Amino acid sequence: MKFLRLLFFSFLMAALPAVALAQAKSECVTCHENVNPGLVKQHLAGKMAQAGIDCSACHGSAHKTMDDFKNAKMPTPETCKGCHAQRVEQYRAGKHNLAWFAMKTQAAWHGIPASIGKDGYRGCSGCHKMGEKGLVGAAQGNMGAITHDDGTEAAKYRYGNAQCDACHTRHSFSREEAKDPRACSNCHMGFDHPQYEMYISSKHGIIWAADGTKSDGRAPTCQKCHMTNSNHNVVTSWGFLGLRIPTKENVLALVKVAPSLEKQLKSLAAALPSGNFVDVDDDPQWTFNRALILQAAGVLDANLQPTKRFVEGVVQGRIARGPEEFNKLRAGMKKTCNECHSMAYVNDFFKAADTTIKEVDALYAKAISAVQGLYKDGILKKPKGWDYAPDLLQYYNAPTSIEQELYLIMLEHRQRTFQGAFHVSNDYMHWYGWAPTNTAVNVILEEAKKMREEHAAKKK
Ligand code: HEC
Ligand code: HEC
Ligand code: HEC
Ligand code: HEC
Ligand code: HEC
Ligand code: HEC
Ligand code: HEC
Ligand code: HEC
């Protein structure tokens, strides 16, 4: 009898955990184990399910049967905010939240067939869906601070409004996965921003791989440098395009070099912040070259005055930074490097990397002037429907091969030069960046000369 009781007891002990688990299973899990077993397995293995979070915490409980699943809510960061307020706030203060808005600021995007650009989350929208939908900017008549349409645009899309699953993919929502540089690599790769390829081919990436891909090893990961202390607010000093907002002082210094532009320059200066960029050697020639780039992007008009694109891209979309923010971000980044390198080493590094932008801007400005000259002299004609010409933001819609080259410098060659320098990738910086920039500028200058000769011959 005693033996039997013992047997019964040990049977109970063995069965209890299974019984308890079965009882804890929600009706969502029980049914979905048949509907999508893989999804449920991943959910149950994650930290959240282990802490007792059910499907209904993110999808609500309005859907309960096989055919009312349209009542299930699709989560947004607002859903996560209830339990992870700090992360959501940081995320919203950073640039990832602006990704959808930034995409829509591009003239070229608006002409793309929906299946290539917008629908199905392939192409632009596949990477840029990590940004919040419905931010209202200058293109919709809002010339002030960016505002929100309260869900109107997001409501048109059933899926793809979650944002947070860009790094913590569903339904594991794992911290470990998000700490791995490969979590960034589906987006930060390829044509115009190959940061993953550059990292992997740098000594930092090589040590990370050789030492077993540890996130806190001898060499830094993307996250170590860009999400220091788990801060979800990502932003860098130079940004994607290696641009800065010129300061009052930068622009006024130009008056001496180009006195004929005094009126325009003074009017531009009045709209700009005051201050200076640490580390950066701001000679007037560089300011002038940068102004040409901004002009070719339609951010400054023919008279060097800020346009609607300046408001939308630079101010609302935060594509470029003024001195205060630039310097603060730079100081933070250097502090991270300083954990493993001497400050002297780090200062040398940044001086050289910043100067690559100056050098590549000087080359680029030559090519831009040549193409602008063709428009000024009537050799090229402004395409119908374009507000500016040349217009870098029209990308591959550019009508002539000379402008196609100009676009490739902007999005491919120039980018790789400075991004490669900052990510310590020698090959990207030189052979995929600087070298093709030179080739493209030479092609443009030669082509411009030919076009002028042909134009002159036709006139005769
Ligand atoms: C009786 C079975 C059953 C129950 C109970 C159930 N679901 Fe579903 N659920 C389904 C089916 C079937 C689908 C449709 C799957 C498909 O499209 O392939 C679905 C779809 C979904 C979707 C996707 C909706 C979409 O538009 O893609 C979500 C999210 C979801 N369920 C969450 C839940 C949650 C949360 C619960 C518990 C509150 C729950 N389900 C309970 C059967 C069930
Ligand atoms: C009802 C509260 C609640 C909601 C809603 C919620 N979480 Fe969580 N989350 C938790 C809890 C509790 C944990 C577990 C904490 C622990 O074990 O350290 C957690 C952990 C996490 C982790 C860390 C996992 C790990 O591997 O350490 C991530 C990432 C995460 N949540 C992301 C999200 C995202 C993204 C959303 C929105 C789509 C979300 N959470 C919604 C409560 C919630
Ligand atoms: C492979 C994923 C991917 C695709 C496809 C993609 N982008 Fe991006 N885009 C990114 C990433 C990543 C960045 C940030 C790069 C950086 O900062 O170096 C970015 C940056 C941008 C920026 C600059 C934002 C800023 O503040 O500097 C704009 C504008 C932009 N993309 C528009 C587009 C448009 C328009 C398309 C389609 C024609 C497109 N992107 C396609 C991933 C992508
Ligand atoms: C921590 C929040 C969270 C929990 C818990 C959660 N989900 Fe989800 N679920 C998401 C997010 C985020 C998406 C992506 C939404 C989007 O793309 O807009 C999603 C999408 C889905 C989809 C449609 C997309 C697809 O891949 O098919 C289904 C179905 C789904 N969830 C079912 C479930 C079920 C069943 C459970 C419980 C076993 C569950 N979810 C638990 C956050 C959650
Ligand atoms: C760009 C990638 C990325 C995106 C997007 C992202 N996270 Fe994270 N998240 C990380 C990384 C990296 C960590 C790990 C930090 C660490 O442990 O050092 C992390 C950690 C977390 C954790 C673990 C606990 C903690 O607080 O550190 C939570 C919770 C979390 N994220 C929530 C969110 C939410 C909510 C969103 C959407 C607003 C989000 N994450 C979007 C990269 C991301
Ligand atoms: C050793 C630190 C470090 C690591 C590791 C690192 N970065 Fe960077 N990253 C930088 C620095 C420095 C800059 C330039 C900062 C500035 O503008 O002053 C930068 C700039 C960027 C930019 C802005 C455009 C550009 O390329 O200049 C993006 C986007 C970016 N990094 C993404 C990544 C991704 C994704 C990874 C991993 C695949 C990564 N970074 C790895 C230090 C790092
Ligand atoms: C789903 C695609 C996607 C993933 C995954 C992703 N990013 Fe991004 N990232 C973008 C896009 C798009 C932008 C440009 C947003 C903008 O500027 O409006 C961006 C911008 C950035 C910037 C700001 C550059 C600047 O302009 O200053 C940094 C830094 C960055 N990402 C780092 C990371 C890191 C580190 C990871 C991985 C932990 C990561 N990203 C994961 C798409 C992605
Ligand atoms: C977690 C430690 C760590 C951090 C943080 C770190 N590095 Fe490194 N870095 C290393 C190690 C280890 C090496 C390899 C040293 C060697 O070549 O002997 C290295 C190498 C380098 C090299 C030489 C690469 C070559 O090809 O010779 C440069 C340049 C460099 N780091 C710059 C930086 C900059 C700039 C930052 C900050 C943006 C930074 N590092 C942040 C650990 C770090």
Type of residue found at 410: M
Rounded alpha-carbon distances, angstroms, from residue 182 to 24, 77, 84: 35, 23, 24
Percent of the chain surpassing pLDDT 90: 90
- Cα 139 to Cα 399: distance, rounded to the nearest angstrom: 24
Nearest to 252 by CA among 243, 242, 241, 263: 263
Q: What is the pLDDT of residue 313?
A: 95
Determine contact, residues 304/292, Cβ cutoff 8 Å. no
- Decide if pLDDT at 10 tops 90: no
Q: What is the pLDDT of residue 8?
A: 42
Stretch 390-418: mean pLDDT = 96
Q: For residue 209, how many other CB atoms are within 10 A of its CB?
A: 12
213, 422, 429: residue to mutate for ligand 6 pocket, most atoms within 8 A of CB: 422
Q: What is the pLDDT of residue 457?
A: 96
Q: Closest-lying ligand to the alpha carbon of 337?
A: 8
Asked: is 248-459 a CATH 1.10.3470 domain? The reply is no
Backbone angles phi, psi at 306, to 5 degrees: -60, 140
Spell out the residues 6+ positions from residue 128 whose beta carbon is closer than 8 angstroms to its own: 99, 100, 102, 103
- Cα 126 to Cα 118: distance, rounded to the nearest angstrom: 8
Task: Verify whether ligand 2 is closer than 6 Å to residue 163 (CB atom).
Answer: no
Q: For residue 303, how many other CB atoms are within 10 A of its CB?
A: 11
Give residue-wise pLDDT tens across range 177-215. 999 999 999 999 999 999 999 999 999 999 999 999 999
Beta bridge partners, 306, equal 300
- Decide if pLDDT at 21 tops 70: no
Task: Name which of 22-26, 287-291, 446-450 the model is least confident about.
Answer: 22-26
146, 189, 234, 325: residue to mutate for ligand 7 pocket, most atoms within 8 A of CB: 234
- Decide if pLDDT at 2 tops 60: no
Domain locations in the chain as residue ranges: 74-178, 248-459
Give residue-wise pLDDT tens across range 80-134. 999 999 999 999 999 999 999 999 999 899 889 988 888 889 899 999 999 999 9
Task: Verify whether ligand 8 is closer than 6 Å to residue 188 (CB atom).
Answer: no
Stretch 334-354: mean pLDDT = 97
**Angle, alpha carbons 279-407-372 (nearest 5°):** 90
Spell out the residues 6+ positions from residue 334 whose beta carbon is closer than 8 angstroms to its own: 343, 346, 347, 350
Ligand 1 atom 9: the closest Cα is on which residue?
Answer: 69
- H, E, C per residue of the chain: CHHHHHHHHHHHHHHHHHHHHHHHCCHHHHHHHHHCHHHHHHHHHCHHHHCCCCHHHHHCCCCCCCCCHHHCCCCCHHHHHCCCHHHHHHHHHCCHHHHHHHHHCCHHHHHCCHHHHCHHHCCHHHHHCCCCCCEECHHHCCCCCCEECCCHHHHCCCCCCCCHHHCCCCCCCCHHHHCCHHHHCCCCCCCCCCHHHHHHCCHHHHHHHHCCCCCCCCCCCHHHHHCHHHCCCCCCCCCCCCCECCCHHHHHHHHHHCHHHHHHHHHHHHCCCCCCCCCCCCCHHHHHHHHHHHHHCCCECCCCCECHHHHHHHHHCCCCECHHHHHHHHHHHHHHHCCCCCHHHHHHHHHHHHHHHHHHHHHHHHHHHHHHHHHHCCCCCCCCCCCCCCCHHHHHHCCCHHHHHHHHHHHHHHHHHHHHHHCCCHHHHHHHHHHHHHHHHHHHHHHHHHHHHHHHHHHC
Task: Name which of 108-112, 159-163, 345-349, 362-366 the model is least confident about.
Answer: 108-112
Q: What is the pLDDT of residue 175?
A: 97
Q: What is the pLDDT of residue 20?
A: 42
Stretch 368-393: mean pLDDT = 96
Place of tokens 């001195």: 323
Beta bridge partners, 135, equal 148
Task: Give residue 13's pLDDT band: very low, low, confident or very high (50, 70, 90).
Answer: very low
**127 CA distance to ligand 8 middle (Å):** 29
Task: Verify whether ligand 3 is closer than 6 Å to residue 227 (CB atom).
Answer: no
Stretch 295-312: mean pLDDT = 95
Q: What is the pLDDT of residue 14?
A: 43
Give residue-wise pLDDT tens across range 243-292. 999 999 999 999 998 999 999 999 999 999 999 999 898 899 999 999 99
Q: What is the pLDDT of residue 17?
A: 44
- Decide if pLDDT at 447 tops 90: yes
- Cα 53 to Cα 312: distance, rounded to the nearest angstrom: 40
Q: What is the pLDDT of residue 117?
A: 82
- Decide if pLDDT at 1 tops 50: no
Task: Verify whether ligand 5 is closer than 6 Å to residue 222 (CB atom).
Answer: no
Mean pLDDT of the chain: 93
Determine contact, residues 228/332, Cβ cutoff 8 Å. yes
Spell out the residues 6+ positions from residue 53 whose beta carbon is closer than 8 angstroms to its own: none
Task: Verify whether ligand 5 is closer than 6 Å to residue 158 (CB atom).
Answer: no
- Cα 328 to Cα 29: distance, rounded to the nearest angstrom: 47
**69 CA distance to ligand 1 middle (Å):** 5
Q: What is the pLDDT of residue 119?
A: 83
Stretch 378-407: mean pLDDT = 95
Stretch 53-58: mean pLDDT = 97
**44 CA distance to ligand 4 middle (Å):** 12
Q: What is the pLDDT of residue 451?
A: 98
